Amino acid sequence: MKESLKKIWNITSTVLVVVIVLCAVFLMGSRLLGFKCYTVISGSMKPEYNVGDLLYVKDVDVNTIKVGDPITFILNEDLVVATHRVVRIDAENQRFYTKGDANEIEDSEPVHFNNVIGVPQFSIPKLGYVSDFVQNPPGMYITIGIGIILILIVFVPDMIGKKKKEDDPESAAVQAEIDSAAEENERLKAELAKLRAEMSDKKSE
């Protein structure tokens, strides 16, 4: 029973570690591929993007952006980031006119080419909530703590057990004697069963 519980716990903790690693890959590893991640915080782009979705945005040449493309840009002086769709382009003055899919009117201010961060390549539903949690305190510290605890739970017991076996040759010798005695006991049982069978055959004759 104890061994079964140990196996179940090892599998569960390993799965949790894998989940944390995968989240780290999706949230952090994507940056190595040139993506910037942004969480959708309003419903202005429904149904294309919903609140809590995580957008993966890639830098592009602004001259390749066309009417109908969604763009991620710096909205104002407070560095608020937004994602809306391009409805008109003023190439001469380097301005994009944008509108949220769920909005009835265009945005009040055009977007200067220099304020464009990039174009969303894909999104993962609701992962933005996880991203915000793990990248900002106290969620960041909680996630790091959980990760460390899980790693310790998964790997430290095995390391300690292995070291004990290496450092305690006397225990290893005792275990070897126990195993040898068990094998001898099984051998004697087999011989006894054989003798009983032979005696039974002689009686029947």
Both tokens assigned to 191: 């011989």
* Mean pLDDT of the 71-81 span: 91
Domain locations in the chain as residue ranges: 1-33+136-155, 34-130, 168-204
Read off the pLDDT of residues 32-68 as tens digits, 9 standing for 90 and up.
Answer: 778 999 999 999 999 999 999 999 999 999 999 999 9
- State how far the alpha carbon of 183 is from the alpha carbons of 72, 174, 177, 186, 190, in Å: 72, 14, 10, 5, 11
Whether pTM > 0.85 for this model: the answer is no
Distance CA 185, CA 182 (A): 5
More confident residue, 144 or 85: 85
Read off the pLDDT of residues 93-104 as tens digits, 9 standing for 90 and up.
Answer: 999 999 999 999
pLDDT value at 129 more than 70: yes
What's the whole-number average pLDDT of the chain? Answer: 81
Distance CA 23, CA 144 (A): 13
Label residue 172 by pLDDT band (50, 70, 90): low
What is the residue whose two structure tokens read 């066309």? 66
- The predicted pLDDT at position 99 comes to 97
- The predicted pLDDT at position 82 comes to 96
Give me the architecture of the 34-130 domain, per CATH: Ribbon (2.10)
